[in-house]
Amino acid sequence: MRELAVVELKAFVPAKDFGLSKRFYTELGFTQRSEGGGVAYFACDHCAFLLQDYYVKEFAENCVMHLLVADVRAWHRHVCDGGLAERYGVQVTAVTEQPWGITEFVVIDPAGVCWHIGQNTPGFRRPGKAA
């Protein structure tokens, strides 16, 4: 149905300190493409989200994003070598292989939003799929 064509899907991500979060996401690897009315549009390649100058602790700490990348270890090195954890007081986990076929690490952003950054685990076969 051509009239129902989808252009893009973006989530609204809360920010406790809007300026700090904008700097964090820029250093994480996103580009801020626009801002207005308390909302900043961030993108990296074909993925995007809307950072909002809005914060409710319970919402932020239950907001989970998943970013699928080509090389999870390169992203992890970028975050760790770039000192984002120290500079922004964020949590970063080690890279782990999940049983559902994703190799990932987790970053908890300055507002408490949980980001799973991962890649499809090479060689993983989903149950029921032919080889």
pLDDT digits (tens, 9 = 90+) for 12-30: 999 999 999 999 999 999 9
Q: Is the pLDDT of residue 5 over 80?
A: yes
What the chain holds in terms of domains, given with CATH numbers, is: 2-120 (3.10.180.10)
pTM of the model: 0.90
Mean pLDDT value across residues 45-71:
97
Whole-number Å distance between alpha carbons of 65 and 111: 13
Mean pLDDT value across residues 73-87:
97
Any idea which residue has 């090389």 for tokens? 71
The pLDDT-based confidence of 43 (bands split at 50, 70, 90) is very high
Q: What is the pLDDT of residues 85-122, one digit of tens each?
A: 999 999 999 999 999 999 999 999 999 999 999 999 98
- Strands across the sheet containing 12-14: 12-14, 47-52, 39-44, 31-36
Q: What is the pLDDT of residue 1?
A: 63
Across the chain, mean pLDDT equals 95
Q: Is the pLDDT of residue 71 over 90?
A: yes
Contacts of 118 (CB under 8 A, 6+ apart): 66, 67, 68, 69, 72, 98, 102, 103, 104, 105
Give me 4's structure tokens: 């129902």
Whole-number Å distance between alpha carbons of 63 and 71: 24
Lowest mean pLDDT of 23-32, 45-54, 98-107, 121-130, name the range. 121-130
Mean pLDDT value across residues 64-79:
98
